[in-house]
Amino acid sequence: MDQYSSYGDQVSPDLENGDIVNCKVGFNINNKEACVKGKTLPQNLSSSILRKKSDPMLVSSTVRFQMLWHFLTNLQEVILGTKLAVLFPAIPLAIAADYYKFGRPWIFALSLLGLTPLAERVSFLTEQIAYFTGPTVGGLLNATCGNATEMIIALFALYQNKIHVLKYSLLGSILSNLLLVLGTSLLCGGLANLKREQRYDRKQADVNSLLLLLGLLCHMLPLMFRYAIGEGTATACSTLQLSRVSSIVMLIAYVAYIFFQLKTHRQLFDAQEEEDDDEEEKAVIGFWSAFTWLVGMTIIIALLSEYVVGTIEAASDSWGISVSFISIILLPIVGNAAEHAGSIIFAFKNKLDISLGVSLGSASQISMFVVPLCVVVAWTMHIRMDLDFSLLETGSLAFTIIITAFTLQDGTSHYMKGLLLFLCYIVIAACFFVHKIPQNQISEGKQFTGLFSA
């Protein structure tokens, strides 16, 4: 059997037994199904900017056994197919640091660095699977796994009853996407196009803004309810019940949004992909290989997330930085570095629709899916978690969403808008840098376990 097939001047491995495929979108001699274009979300387009092509001939000339050749080729595509591969050594170092009982701040820092390339690789693998599942299933998979790292960290924080860490990390993801990522993208795009305004499709921004405003309402109602009724056990119970009902409403809204995005109004979200048809990513590994790697990467993310959640207080004490600052500022920046960098690069290329899709899409997913999902999961675990993020946190979220909505209302952008969003993020970061909470509040969920289960 011929191990290779020629496509133009490029020599590519064929798909055999679901292992390797390398083809142009819409055309493949031996497996046309592998080239069916899936629904590519902006998050995947953003992460793809940091990928690099690998040469399958590097391993083919020296490996004779086909199974070993497939494994090494997949390993090369998955591990070396990203410009962030230099950070992969942080993963075994974090595991070794935990095994040999190194300082907990070292474990935290190494785990945080190790999560950076893993988040980008999960995006890559879900995109590869999408080529074989079709646009709807692929788009649903991409939408679900778009913020897998934040979701796993949140679930581990919930499991360890660190409710404040959970809320801080999710709040930080929303603030980071709306102010840091969007602001930096608009700033860099405006500086690269000083003599003219950049334009984008307002329709997508309007939909995401409405979602974020609905999420803000669901966050503000428990806070206002607590201040209106007063403190007490009865108030806490009512606030918890209100939060659970609101979370179900938010999940329904997010499911409707996914249906809106993938089915009824796909044209609003497909416009950003039409410009990049010539640069379309191609499937480079088979379905089962991608699925196996995705499971393995998820397990590693879970392990590192457990390290991060378990050592965050020790890192805070050692570095003299508040837990709120680490959770709200550092975790989102490092965990989504690949996605953020891709968004900025697309803004430089005057492709703001993709940049907006990354920032607004990720913020909407965290606000309308991950946060209410954590409330529902906590409900099943008999853990008290509500949507009351306290006054300072909810106020920061409210101003962020309102400022972002005003910024995007006219469909045009320039560097001044980006600069103001970025400066807003700096002010909020400074606020949480000096904000301290008592250590006993970080794990306060333990004392409420089972008290307010419904």
Give me the tens of pLDDT residue by residue for the chain, a chain 454 residues long.
444 433 333 334 444 444 444 443 333 333 433 444 445 555 555 555 555 555 555 555 555 566 666 677 777 777 877 777 888 899 999 999 998 888 889 999 999 998 888 888 887 888 788 777 766 666 667 666 767 888 888 899 998 889 989 999 999 999 999 999 999 999 998 888 887 888 888 888 888 899 999 999 999 999 998 888 877 777 788 889 999 999 999 999 999 998 888 778 776 666 455 454 445 556 677 788 888 888 898 899 999 999 999 899 889 888 888 888 999 998 888 777 777 887 888 888 888 888 888 888 889 999 999 999 999 999 999 898 999 888 999 999 999 999 999 998 888 888 899 999 999 999 999 999 988 754 444 444 444 444 444 4
> For residues 88 and 118, what is the distance between their CA atoms, to the nearest angstrom?
8
Q: Does any domain span residue 292?
A: yes
Q: Does any domain span residue 54?
A: yes
Q: Does any domain span residue 453?
A: no
405-415 as b/e: b if 16+ CB within 10 A: bebbeeeebbb
Rounded to two decimals, what is the model's pTM?
0.79
> For residues 37 and 218, what is the distance between their CA atoms, to the nearest angstrom?
36
Q: Does any domain span residue 454?
A: no
Q: Which amino acid is at 40?
A: T
Q: In 61-162, which ranges are continuous DSSP H helix?
A: 66-79, 90-99, 104-133, 135-145, 148-159
Q: Domain range holding 267?
A: 4-448
Query: Domains in the chain: how many in total?
Result: 1
> For residues 410 and 351, what is the distance between their CA atoms, to the nearest angstrom?
17
Q: Does any domain span residue 14?
A: yes
Q: Does any domain span residue 310?
A: yes
Q: Does any domain span residue 409?
A: yes
CATH code (residue 424): 1.20.1420.30
Cα 417 to chain centroid, rounded: 24
pLDDT value for 307: 92
> For residues 415 and 185, what is the distance between their CA atoms, to the nearest angstrom?
9
| Residue the block writes with tokens 């055309």 | 27
Identify each DSSP E strand in 14-114 by its residue range.
none
